[in-house]
Amino acid sequence: MESLTPPYYAVVFRSELRDSAEGYAEAAAQMEALAETQPGYLGIETLRSGNQGVSISYWQDTDAIRSWKAHSEHLMAQQSGRQRWYRWYRVEIAHVERSYDFGEF
Amino acid sequence: MESLTPPYYAVVFRSELRDSAEGYAEAAAQMEALAETQPGYLGIETLRSGNQGVSISYWQDTDAIRSWKAHSEHLMAQQSGRQRWYRWYRVEIAHVERSYDFGEF
């Protein structure tokens, strides 16, 4: 994704999947596609290694984050996540105040 | 690491290493050990997958982040990073306002 110019918001989602997480990959792809259509969505970056993952989604403001969290299809996915897919997760909502980079993405 | 209670700061460091990054792993371990001794340091979480990585370090305030960025040994490591190890990196300094979690870490 392109560089963003602060200020903006980041939702840092760290997680560990259970050993059996059937249906997770499809649901995650669907949720990512749906998130892209939401007002105030700026992008997402995901890294996975084994059962662990970090997804950082970027948003214009906290209203956009709240709306996405409360979206009906996303609510169902969150419930499946807790019941079937995740061993644990941790979500942090953060206001990005400054950024800098090096090299070519 | 333990759960932190907002507010606090997160430095999100996303990076891609070059195919040859000799000495990187040792330097990264040294910098992590040194960071732990800095005032205002709260913790770090790192995930790597192939050449890509995400490290999220946690700090009490922006003064702590500034001091660590300007630490002499860290400055040398940053220079080596640009000259020898990283294809690119992106750093975001973010104020964590809210967090929640699920399950056992």
**A103 DSSP β-pair partners:** B88
DSSP string, A75-88: HHHHHHIIIIIEEE
| pLDDT at residue number A68 | 97
Whether cis (ω within 30° of 0) applies to the bond prior to A6 is no
**B88 DSSP β-pair partners:** A103, B16
Q: B59 at the A interface (CB within 8 A)?
A: no
**What average pLDDT does the structure give for chain B?**
96
Q: What is the pLDDT of residues A36-78, one digit of tens each?
A: 999 999 999 999 999 999 999 999 999 999 999 999 999 999 9
d(CA B43, CA A28): 28
Beta carbons of B102 and A82 less than 8 Å apart: yes
Beta carbons of A102 and B94 less than 8 Å apart: no
d(CA A64, CA A22): 29
Set of chain A residues whose Cβ sits within 8 Å of the Cβ of B97: 62, 93-95
Beta carbons of B45 and A92 less than 8 Å apart: no
d(CA A26, CA B35): 39
Beta carbons of B14 and A45 less than 8 Å apart: yes
In the DSSP assignment, the letter for residue A4 is P
Minimum CA–CA partner of B56 in chain A:
A12
Q: What is the pLDDT of residues A31-44, one digit of tens each?
A: 999 999 999 999 99
d(CA B58, CA A45): 19
Higher pLDDT, A21 or B57: B57
Within 10 A of B73 (CB to CB), how many other CB atoms are there? 11
Q: Which helix (DSSP H) or strand (DSSP E) does residue A21 occupy?
A: none
Number of H helices, E strands in chain B: 3, 4
ipTM attached to this prediction: 0.95
Q: A87 at the B interface (CB within 8 A)?
A: yes
d(CA B51, CA A59): 26
Residue located via tokens 């997680």: A15
**What pTM does this model have?**
0.95
Q: What is the pLDDT of residues B14-40, one digit of tens each?
A: 999 999 999 999 999 999 999 999 999
